[in-house]
Amino acid sequence: MGIDPNYRTTRKVVTEIQGIKVYDPYEPPKKLGIWGTIVGVDFDLCIADGSCITACPVNVFQWYDTPGHPASEKKAMPINEQACIFCMACVNVCPVAAIDVKPP
């Protein structure tokens, strides 16, 4: 089971970090929710294998440290989600289906 494709309408924005909206549940360090609106990354599923960072032709992602999280201690943060060209490369390579991309 991957990221909830309906999170934008079914979950609440609980905070914003470095300009990125974070959707619930957000209870650091164990639950980090879904980060991003155009390019959403489920931080609770992300295992930080880096395939999305490598696959993205427009550098949407950067590493973000998440010490204490059970899945991994860093995540692929969609820091530059506005640059997304909707090629879906990140979605296609994510081994745990933690990414969802929707045009604004």
- The annotation places the binding site for [3Fe-4S] cluster at 46, 52, 94
**SS3 at position 76:** strand
Here the tokens at position 89 are 């490369």
Residues in binding site for [4Fe-4S] cluster: 56, 84, 87, 90
Q: Are 78 and 61 in contact (CB under 8 A)?
A: yes
Q: Are 35 and 43 in contact (CB under 8 A)?
A: yes
Residues in binding site: 46, 52, 56, 84, 87, 90, 94
